[in-house]
Structure 1
Amino acid sequence: MTVGIVAVSHSSKIAEGAVELAAQMAPDVELVAAGGTDDDRIGTSLEKVLAAVEQSLVDSGGDGVVVLTDLGSAVMTAESAMEFASAPEAVRLADAPLVEGLVAAAVAAQGGAGVEDVLKAAEAVRFGGGTERPDETPHTGAPDASGDFELINPLGMHARPAAKIAGGLSGMDAEVTVNGVDGMSIMALMALAAGQGTTLHVEARGKDAAKAVGYVRRLVEEGFGEL
């Protein structure tokens, strides 16, 4: 079993599309879409979200559930569903962007992370695609660990490799950049448009700096499992 994940959106198409995308990176994770109203209009439905949470609780086999939402009332609907859930203590609501947070959470769950670490992976993404909070000052000076690794997988830095890097790094105590962009931002990594043969320059600062660089190195050398 893995942690279950529920995507709540005002649009059924957005929820289903986000789940479809995340499932490509995390095929073993139970992902449930809860979008739109009961008559398929734009909006949210307490009954639909509660049903999704209950389904996810069953599918996760007691491992817990993380819920992600899009806008305003979706958060309130999700909170209400959690209150009425059969096991509210096993459900966590992530403060994270729906699509990127969902992918990061799914990748973490695919790797066997527990519910708190899956929640942390989603929230590490933050809104706007980065991990830095407004009151944080970025580290300067020499990194604690670094490395240069050549992409060998045929498609380079597309969605799945980006998700694997970001999802794995999100659970580590380190600030990581890849070719100058946030290593925990799936969208920023994809925006590098790094093709096969491109060298990734990885810099990490913090307690898990060496572990983070080693993690990226292994992924790159294994071709992200695509060879």
Structure 2
Amino acid sequence: MTVRLVVVSHSDKIADGAAELAAQMAPDVVILAAGGTDDGRIGTSLEKVMAALEEAAGHGVVILTDLGSAVMTAEAALEFLPDPGSVLVADAPLVEGLVAAAVAAQTGADAQAVKAAAESVYRPPPPAPAHEHRQPPEASGEFELVNEAGMHARPAAKIAGGLSALEAEVTINGADGASMTELMMLAAGKGTLLRVEASGPDAARAVEYLAGLVKDGFGEP
């Protein structure tokens, strides 16, 4: 059962636009927009959020918000639910977090993993102690980008979303594999060789996942 996403924004256009963008990368995921007030002004609507949550009922649900009062509206809506624990509110930037969450949901991740994918977008890796020697990766590989556009938003989201559901620490050319932002900052074009290093229980699966995505050109020309 695919996790459903609810977008709470002060603007109906922002909510609709963010949902449309994420849907391009996760076509099988239901993304419900709850933006603006009931009369079309800037603000949030408890009634709109409640309606979206009612439509999403019966599935795992993750809410993403824009500004602080949107979080308050979302949390107020949870108080009216018979099982508020079934709905999670992600602490993540709206657009980047929504894309990462949608891709994770597309891969079949559960609500907790989808929430973690959203929140990992700007999560800095923990600093290693100065005296600690870097351990060799448990799995690794090198893969050449074959899609024309290289590492743009869609591939970065697919990588970050998929890896967030695995128990593995993954770096790609030194960037955090679970961070869509860091992957895009690589500015890796077609023909770039990606050096993947992974550690953890799912290290081998993570490298295999990356290999399949890159070989398939992320489903792009």
Instruction: Note whether the superposition's TM-score is higher than 0.5.
Output: yes
For residues 86 and 200 of structure 2, what CA distance do their matches in structure 1 show?
Answer: 31
1:165 to 159, 165, 171: 159
Could you say which residue in structure 2 is the equivalent of 1:205?
Answer: 199
Q: Distance in 2 between matches of 1:63 and 1:49?
A: 16
Q: TM-score, normalised by structure 1?
A: 0.87
How far is 1:112 from its partner? 1.7
Name the count of aligned residue pairs: 217
Q: 2:169 aligns with which of 154, 172, 175?
A: 175
C-alpha distance in structure 1 between counterparts of 2:10 and 2:28, whole Å: 26
SS at match of 2:171: strand
Instruction: State how far apart, in whole Å, the 2-side matches of 1:201 and 1:13 are.
Output: 39
Give the Å deviation of 1:160: 1.4
- Equivalent position amino acid for 1:63 in 2: H
What is the letter of the counterpart of residue 108 of structure 1?
A
2:28 aligned residue: 28
Distance (whole Å) between structure 2 residues aligned to residue 36 and residue 63 of structure 1:
24
- 2:112 is aligned with 1:113: no
In 1, distance between residues paired with 2:124 and 2:199?
14
Corresponding residue for residue 15 of structure 1: 15
Deviation at 1:121, TM superposition (A): 2.1
Deviations 1:152-196 (A, max 9, x none): 112211211111100011112222121221111112212222121
Identity of aligned residues (%): 66
**For residues 213 and 52 of structure 2, what CA distance do their matches in structure 1 show?**
33
1:63 matches 2:59: yes
With normalisation by structure 2, the TM-score equals 0.90
Higher mean C-alpha deviation, range 159-168 or range 7-16:
7-16
Aligned to 2:94: 98
Q: How does 1:121-160 map onto structure 2 within 5 Å?
A: 121-125=117-121, 129-132=122-125, 136-138=126-128, 140-160=134-154
Q: Distance in 2 between matches of 1:86 and 1:19?
A: 26
In structure 2, do the counterparts of structure 1 residues 112 and 214 end up closer, same or farther at CA, with 3 Å as the change threshold?
same
Q: Which structure 1 residue ranges, 5 or more long, are not aligned?
A: none
Q: Distance in 2 between matches of 1:155 and 1:86?
A: 46
C-alpha separation between the residues in 1 aligned to 2:54 and 2:155? Answer: 31
- Offset at residue 87 of structure 1 (A): 4.3
